[in-house]
Structure formats: C-alpha cells, structure tokens
C-alpha cells in the first residue's frame, strides 16, 4: 500500500511535534497567560520585579487600562514603570519563596 509508507515516514515527526507541544509550547503559553493576569491585577502594596531587575513596591496603580504604575524602589525614591516590563508580581499576602531565596 503506497499510502501506508508515507504515513510511517511522517508518524515520527507528528509524534515529536506532539511531545514538543505538550512539554514546551503549552506550558509556556500557560505561564504567559498567568503573568498577563497578574500584571493586569497588580495593586498598591504588591512587590514587583521589572525585566531590568529592579525590585520595588507598588505605590500607585491607576486604572487597568493605564500602561504605567508607580513603584517605590527605595525610601522616598519612586519611579514610573510600564506594566509590560514587569517580569514578576508578588502580592502582599503571597509568602516569599524560601527555596528561590536560598539558591541566590
């Protein structure tokens, strides 16, 4: 059967793509969706980390459609940060990850 030969040749490629999708692509999409949700729901008092590595506390978080927030990075030092540059948001009630801190 000529049709069966072409399927057996393509089957490993389909199998590899399925593995790549479930192990790499899908988890990354879920992480991006979760990060977007956290950024959209950032509020005053949350600790944020920017893509540049600045860690600070949100002082002013205006309406959800505003692309900027005000972050305090030191005592009496406030900077405006574009929400899209946030790489992590830790809410006030969220405990600090002790495993990540111990590895640093």
CATH number at residue 9: 2.30.30.100
Give the whole-angstrom CA distance, residue 46 versus residue 20: 35
* Confidence (pLDDT) at 104: 45
Q: What is the pLDDT of residue 80?
A: 94
How far is 99 from 66, CA to CA, in rounded Å? 34
- Tell me if 14 is assigned to some domain: yes
Q: What is the pLDDT of residues 29-52, one digit of tens each?
A: 999 999 888 888 888 999 999 999
**Does the residue 102 lie in any domain?**
no
Question: From CA 91, how far away is CA 26, in angstroms rounded?
Answer: 25
Structure letter (DSSP) for residue 65: T
> Which positions of the chain have pLDDT values less than 50?
98, 100-102, 104
d(CA 48, CA 73): 10
Number of domains into which the chain is organized: 1
CA dihedral (88, 91, 92, 97) in degrees, to 10, reads -60
Question: 100 in a domain, yes or no?
Answer: no
Domain containing residue 84:
2-91
């Amino acid at each position: 059967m000529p049709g069966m030969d072409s399927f057996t040749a393509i089957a490993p490629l389909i199998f590899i793509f399925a593995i790549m999708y479930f192990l790499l692509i899908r988890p990354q999409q879920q992480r991006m969706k979760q990060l977007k949700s956290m950024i959209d729901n950032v509020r005053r008092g949350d600790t944020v980390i920017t893509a540049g590595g600045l860690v600070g506390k949100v002082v002013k978080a205006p309406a959800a459609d505003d692309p900027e927030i005000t972050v305090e990075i030191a005592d009496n030092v406030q900077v405006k940060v574009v929400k899209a540059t946030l790489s992590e948001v830790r809410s006030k009630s969220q405990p600090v990850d002790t495993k990540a801190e111990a590895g640093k």
